[in-house]
Amino acid sequence: VQDFLIAPSILSADFARLGEEVDNVLAAGADVVHFDVMDNHYVPNLTIGPMVCKALRKHGVTAPIDVHLMVKPVDRMISEFIEAGASYITFHPEASEHVDRSLQLIRDGGCKAGLVFNPATPLSYLDYVMDKVDMVLLMSVNPGFGGQSFIPGTLNKLREARARIDASEFDMRLEIDGGVKVDNIAEIAAAGADTFVAGSAIFSAHQASDPHGYDTVIKQM
């Protein structure tokens, strides 16, 4: 049996009430906190860094924190996020000068390591590092913003990634990020994903008119 994990992306949360937002999605049944780090260099947006991760831990968040690094260079942020209480750290191979070294740094710090594939990035980056990867993250949008539409070609890429993982001797999660909604998640799961990032779908459901919107969306997923 596959275990499916729901990972709300806090990029779409209300940053002025971040602790409460994270508590609410976890109470509603979310499994993992997806934490998008953008540097206005590797991607055209600027978000949050290790201090905010540390603050969530201090606030009492014990769930896994899945740090998605959209930064260049990568390695210094790896050490900072290990220190800040990250559980998973994933990065884009194009943003690292030495992919094998970055993966090893993450593992040496006691975190799970992952590679992120942009829509046009080939899965062949996995070829020589499968033994150092705990998570394969496929982007189903171009990174930088929440609220974009799922790129349909990602479904075939997911099938390809699933086949690679199953053919390997390693235990890896297959995560999907971008445009995941209640009405396409079944199809995405059927294509092989087991870990689902959803930002706008989850956080936009929480409105004054529907204070339990999170529960509804997360349970439907």
Catalytic residues: 36, 177
Using CB under 6 A as the binding rule, whether residue 118 contacts ligand DX5 is answered as no
> Binding to ligand DX5 by residue 199, rule CB under 6 A?
yes
92 binds ligand DX5 (CB under 6 A): no
Residue 175 partner contact from ligand DX5, Zn ion, none using kind-dependent CB cut-offs of 5 to 8 Å: none
Q: What minimum distance in Å lies between the beta carbon of 10 and ligand DX5? A: 8
Kindly give the residue spans of alpha helices, DSSP state H, lying in 7-132.
18-27, 50-59, 75-83, 99-108
Q: Give the CB-nearest residue to ligand DX5.
A: 199
Under rule CB under 6 A, residue 8 binds ligand DX5: no
Tell me the C-alpha to C-alpha distance, in Å, between residue 96 and each of 66, 103, 182.
19, 10, 34
Nearest distance, CB of residue 196 and ligand DX5, angstroms: 9
Tokens 């949008």 belong to 141
Q: Show the tokens assigned to 186.
A: 């079944």
Q: How far is the CB of 61 from ligand DX5 (least distance, A)?
A: 18
Q: Does 114 bind ligand DX5 (CB under 6 A)?
A: no
Of these partners, Zn ion, ligand DX5, none, which one is at the site of residue 141 (CB under 5 to 8 Å by kind)? ligand DX5
Q: Which residues pair with 115 in a beta bridge?
A: 91, 136
Phi-psi region of 194 (alpha: psi -120 to 50; beta: other; left: phi over 0): alpha
Beta partners for residue 68, in sequence order: 36, 90
**What amino acid occupies position 36?**
D
Q: CA of 206: how far to CAs of 20, 23, 185, 202, 216, in Å?
A: 12, 13, 19, 7, 10
Judge whether 53 and 81 are in contact, CB under 8 Å: yes
Tell me if 178 is assigned to a ligand binding site.
Answer: yes
Q: Does 144 bind ligand DX5 (CB under 6 A)?
A: yes
Residues 20-59 that bind ligand DX5 (CB under 6 A): 34, 36
Interaction site with ligand DX5 (CB under 6 A): 9, 11-12, 34, 36, 68, 141, 143-144, 146-148, 177-180, 197-201
Known binding residues for a divalent metal cation are 34, 36, 68, 177
